[in-house]
Amino acid sequence: MENYIYGMLHGVLESKRLIAIKGRKKVDFYYMSKSMFKLFMQYFQPGIFIFMIVKDQSRLYRGHVVRNIVAIDKLLAPNKNKPTIYYDISMIKSGIKSLINLNRNRLFIDFEMSMPPYNNFQDFVSEIIQAGYILTDESGHILEEFSSYIKPKLFPELSIRTKKFLHIEQSDVDGGNSYEFLHKKIMEIQKKYSPIVYVWGKNDQLELNKLNKIHRLSNFTKSMQFIDLLSMHKNYYGLKNDIGLFNAYNIYSETIDLNHQKHDALEDATITKDIFYAFKDVCNNKKTVIFE
């Protein structure tokens, strides 16, 4: 069971990651995870009011009776008739909803990268070796799909680890397109459709930035709007840890359980798209899911 409580901050025990809230008769202590404490520590000043969801059951922790904090909803400081708001999850959700509902074309993209060998990997640089994307219009209709292996330039010979993990052969990438070809495709999409680009995690955008420099090509990512759906989920649901793409899909899906990831770029791009539209339904109160 969980309870919603609020009160003025009475004190902070930083070494124990505890905050104290003074009630009418006593001071209550609340414990938060390392990631949560790191996120909100900067706001824990005298006079701050905290609104939060906590576990109903108390426990003994390092000499204090505490309850675990599940989520913090709001942090504010009284200021006559206009309080200073430092954090408000309802405002964050409202901003995410506005962004999700923009009438824009959308590009859902995913890459598979080469992996270092088991030995002598000090100078290894990962490269995109498979790309997949789905381009949709503002209504969600598919305009274009793309799937291709990409020839690596710096380390043309795939490591055993890469082939084993991705279940591919050297001949697959040898017969693939060049990175310059992928770069041209994305540039054409940007010029014609100007889509918002949705990815799961930050790695895909970072890899594009890196390879554009390696191949001495124009860095189109500076003019494209990238949205990290993973970070958006963590902010919206108040998640402490990262969640995998397939795990997120399983939470949204009511009939299909994907437990065996194939590590295929187009499949992952498709799942990213499906998660986006399920998440959009949640933001618009058409669907309810629980992330824990």
Helix (H) or strand (E) holding 40: helix 34-40
Euclidean distance between CA atoms 256 and 116, whole angstroms? 33
Q: Domain of 43: which CATH number?
A: 2.40.50
Whether residue 257 is contained in a domain is answered as yes
Euclidean distance between CA atoms 148 and 170, whole angstroms? 14
Mean pLDDT within 133-154: 96
Nearest-Å Rg of the Cα atoms of the chain is: 23
Q: Domain of 265: which CATH number?
A: 3.30.420.10
| Domain identity same for 55 and 184 | no
pLDDT at residue 236, rounded to an integer? 92
Mean pLDDT (the chain, rounded): 92
Whether residue 93 is contained in a domain is answered as no
Euclidean distance between CA atoms 17 and 121, whole angstroms? 39
Q: Which domain holds residue 12?
A: 2-88
Whether residue 169 is contained in a domain is answered as yes
pLDDT at residue 260, rounded to an integer? 57
Q: Which of 88, 114, 131 is the last residue of a domain?
A: 88
Whether residue 253 is contained in a domain is answered as yes
**The pLDDT of residue 72 is above 90:** yes
Q: What is the pLDDT of residues 172-193, one digit of tens each?
A: 999 999 999 999 999 999 999 9
Q: What is the pTM of this model?
A: 0.85
pLDDT at residue 256, rounded to an integer? 61
Whether residue 96 is contained in a domain is answered as no
How long, in residues, is the chain?
Answer: 292
Q: What is the pLDDT of residues 123-133, one digit of tens each?
A: 899 999 999 99
Whether residue 77 is contained in a domain is answered as yes
At which residue do the structure tokens 């100078």 appear?
Answer: 123
Q: Which of 31, 65, 88 is the last residue of a domain?
A: 88
Q: Which of 88, 118, 133 is the last residue of a domain?
A: 88
CA torsion sign for 289, 51, 42, 35 is: negative
Q: What is the pLDDT of residues 209-259, one digit of tens each?
A: 999 999 999 999 989 999 999 999 999 988 878 999 999 999 998 766 655
Whether residue 161 is contained in a domain is answered as yes
Domain count for the chain: 2
Whether residue 210 is contained in a domain is answered as yes
